[in-house]
Amino acid sequence: MHPATARLAFIGAGNMSSSLIGGLLEQGYPASQIIATDPSPQQRDAVANRFGIEVSADNVAAVATAEVVLLAVKPQVLKAVALELAPALGHRPLLLSIAAGIGLESLASWLGPQLPLVRCMPNTPALVRSGAAALCGNRQVSAAQRELSLGLLEAMGTALWLEDESLLDAVTAISGSGPAYFFLLIEALQMAAVELGLPAETARQLTLQTALGAARMALAEPISAAELRRRVTSPGGTTERAIQVFEAGGFTALVRQAALAAAQRSAELATELGEPATR
């Protein structure tokens, strides 16, 4: 199945679906091969007008001819949606779920154990085609379907495959929740800049461009973040003084604690929202 010929059905037409649809269309994916469903008439109209794709309120009809079904509904309603779809999946399409906290075992119990199922953990920068997503699948996912899944999610940024589903809790803690950590640092730097006398808009622009530049440098340079930090930290200089304050405040340990807490909460949500594990 070539990515450009697969019939795609998006169950849920919210921000993540819109981002993926937009990215696929920008890459030349035919709009005629995409259908999106949503219970909201306003959302359906918005997606249809924006992308020129088919929309529907009928989930079952939408998946009937789809080769790939992307489940993009809230985790709290995924079980009900999955049970509704299950009888219509006899043609065994590839199913991708971006619902946080719902494991492959739960998906299989609702949709059918014979189906190829993929879990994906994207993040909100996917909305501006700069996302970081990790995927993993069950044994029914073929090598071709694995590549198809990666190719589809790469429309929103970077997509990486994991062999161990349990690692998705760590992914959630790092890239899934991670944008908020950087937003918190951006917020704090902007506040400090204003306190130092900079106009608010100047503080905003300088902080955002600095964050963007640092990320681009880290991506472009084949060296560690630690080495990049060392190179901009002159002995006895201003950067060294700031880093010393961060370290004295336990910055590294605090980040570690925060990531561990997020990973723990991800595991808790899997228990709360999914089916009890059978193994």
Q: Are 144 and 230 in a shared domain?
A: no
Nearest to 159 by CA among 3, 30, 35: 3
Backbone angles phi, psi at 161, to 5 degrees: -95, 135
Least confident of 4-13, 65-74, 203-212, 247-256: 4-13
Question: Of 174 and 279, which is predicted with more confidence?
Answer: 174
User: What is the rounded distance in angstroms from the CA atom of residue 225 to the CA atom of residue 231?
Assistant: 10
Q: Are 113 and 157 in a shared domain?
A: yes
The reported pLDDT for the residue numbered 2 is: 46
User: What is the rounded distance in angstroms from the CA atom of residue 104 to the CA atom of residue 117?
Assistant: 7
Of 127-131, 218-222, 265-269, highest mean pLDDT = 218-222
Looking at every residue in the chain, the average pLDDT score rounds to 93
Of 6-20, 183-197, 256-270, highest mean pLDDT = 183-197
Q: Are 147 and 101 in a shared domain?
A: yes
Q: Where are the alpha helices (DSSP H) in the chain?
A: 15-26, 41-51, 59-64, 75-85, 104-111, 143-153, 168-171, 178-195, 200-220, 225-231, 238-248, 251-273
The stretch 257-271 carries a mean pLDDT of 91
For the stretch 45-80, pLDDT in tens is: 999 999 999 999 999 999 999 999 999 999 899 999
Q: Are 27 and 125 in a shared domain?
A: yes
Q: Are 13 and 139 in a shared domain?
A: yes
Q: What range does the domain containing 229 cover?
A: 176-263
Question: Residue 233 domain-assigned?
Answer: yes
Q: Are 20 and 154 in a shared domain?
A: yes
Q: Are 220 and 121 in a shared domain?
A: no
For the stretch 236-256, pLDDT in tens is: 999 999 999 999 999 999 999
The stretch 221-244 carries a mean pLDDT of 96
The stretch 28-43 carries a mean pLDDT of 95
Give the percent of the chain with pLDDT over 90.
85
The stretch 111-133 carries a mean pLDDT of 93
